[in-house]
Amino acid sequence: MGTFELISKHGDHEEIIFCHDKTVGLKAIIAIHNTALGPALGGTRMWNYKTEDEALVDVLRLSKGMTYKASAAGLNLGGGKAVIIGDPKTQKSEGLFRAFGQFVNSLNGKYITAEDVGTGEMDMEYIFMETPWVTGIPKDFGGSGDPSPYTAHGVLMGIKASVKEKLKTDSLKGVRIAVQGLGNVGSNVVKYLVQEGADIIVTDIDPDRVKKYVNEFKVRATHPEEILFTECDVLSPNAMGAVINDQTINKLKCQIVAGGANNQLLEPRHGDELKAKGILYAPDYVVNAGGLMNVFVELEGYSPDRAFDKTKKVYDNVMKVFEISKRDHIGTHTAADRLAEERIKTIGHLKQRHPGKSASRVFSTLKEVNNR
Ligand code: NAD
């Protein structure tokens, strides 16, 4: 398949930028999917893609996902993403990231980058040397640092909304919650759930993490192969994607699935199957938007309190998804897409008439940073 055919097959992107610098060995692609709501924001992934087409498909898919995530989160941001082709363990250099930063800069704020799989704080520092259009930068540089606690707080809000919807209660006291994954997000989710008095069972493939958090939070643990099939009220996937699939779906013993992991459904039809089984699914990208909300606050001028406050919005957003699901008799995964599309249509239309306040605030803050 030709490059342009591949691009049109994977969505109606506004702009695709191929970045090449022979001297530093840079081969990267920036995809701007949609800027109807504001500048396109999304991280830069560095990955050893087998082919350039594989990298292109990945960046097209991920940037579209960011459009939906930002819109459903109620943020004035569009969707974009970048991929750098190369081995993050052996092919990183100052020159590579600064050259990439110059490409980002050339887009004049239409695309704002951040960390993603394979890139870290040091890489963002190099990009920041060339462009202000980078967020999620380290605290030492006036940034917001690690987004995971904010993501986790949003996950807590997603769980609370789901419990309200399905179990008709505002309290998590005694609610049985199975948490898969005790990494940056999962460990913080457990911390919040302990404060709420939930009845928690955890797992991780790393036994040291399990030992640490079982001791710290006084929670029960189970084997990684058993967590998905544990009898519970809420299953909270916070490890990897595709946990809801043909092999697992009929063995689930939960009433709700609500967690921070990306791409929990192997295929969209698994969302319909959850609905048919009476299991309430809180769509992953609505639930895990707390980290994105945190970097948005960084663009406005960072305040940890404001960022924390913003993540409370996840509760309302998840509730809106449930309303659309009931209104249109569709699975919640489809309802989330509909929520995002409806907002792009309505607000995007308004923005055509007037650029709006929030977007200009983002720009002026970043320009200020640039002039320091
Ligand atoms: P992480 O790497 O810090 O943690 C993942 C944890 O899951 C690790 O402790 C790992 O050992 C464990 N794990 C892996 N496979 C497992 C399995 N089969 N069973 C049990 N445990 C397993 O990652 P993270 O930052 O905590 O992110 C977790 C998920 O949330 C990912 O899907 C990520 O894409 C998503 N997410 C994270 C953020 C964020 O702010 N960090 C934001 C949005 C979405």
* Cα of 30 from ligand 1 centre, angstroms: 25
The string of pLDDT tens digits covering residues 200-225 is: 999 999 999 999 999 999 999 999 99
Query: Any idea what DSSP says for residue 204?
Result: -
Class of domain 13-62+79-141: alpha beta
Q: What is the CA radius of gyration of the chain?
A: 20
151 Cα–ligand 1 center, Å: 11
* Residue 365 confidence (pLDDT): 56
Name the helix (H) or strand (E) containing 347: helix 332-353
Best residue among 238, 245, 286, 298 to mutate for probing ligand 1's pocket (most ligand atoms within 8 Å of CB) is 238
Q: Residue 250 above 70 pLDDT?
A: yes
Q: Which one is predicted more confidently, 351 or 325?
A: 325
User: Burial, 106: exposed, middle or buried (Cβ in 10 Å; 0-12, 13-18, 19+)?
Assistant: middle
CATH number for the region 148-292+299-308+314-340 comes to: 3.40.50.720
Which protein residue's CA is at the shortest distance from atom 12 of ligand 1? 181
Domain ranges of the chain: 13-62+79-141, 148-292+299-308+314-340
Alpha carbon of 279 to ligand 1 centroid (Å): 23
Find where tokens 């509730």 sit: 319
Q: Is the CB of 183 under 6 A from ligand 1?
A: yes
Residues in a beta bridge with 234: 177, 256
Kindly give, in sequence order, each residue whose CB lies less than 8 Å from that of residue 220, ignoring residues fewer than 6 positions away.
Answer: 200, 201, 202, 214
Ligand 1 centre to CA of 356 (Å) is: 36
Mean pLDDT, the chain, integer: 93
Catalytic residues, by residue number, are: 81
Mean pLDDT to the nearest integer, 17-21: 98
Q: Which atom of ligand 1 is nearest to the CA of 241?
A: 32
- Asked if pLDDT for residue 289 goes beyond 80, the answer is yes
Q: Tally the C-alpha atoms within 13 A of residue 157's C-alpha that lie toward its C-beta.
A: 24
Q: Look up residue 211 and give its DSSP letter.
A: H
Say what the pTM is: 0.92
Long-range CB contact pairs, 262-266, < 8 A, 24+? 262/288, 264/237, 265/333, 266/242
Identical fold between 13-62+79-141 and 148-292+299-308+314-340: yes
The pLDDT value given to residue 353: 66
The two tokens of residue 68 are 């939906």
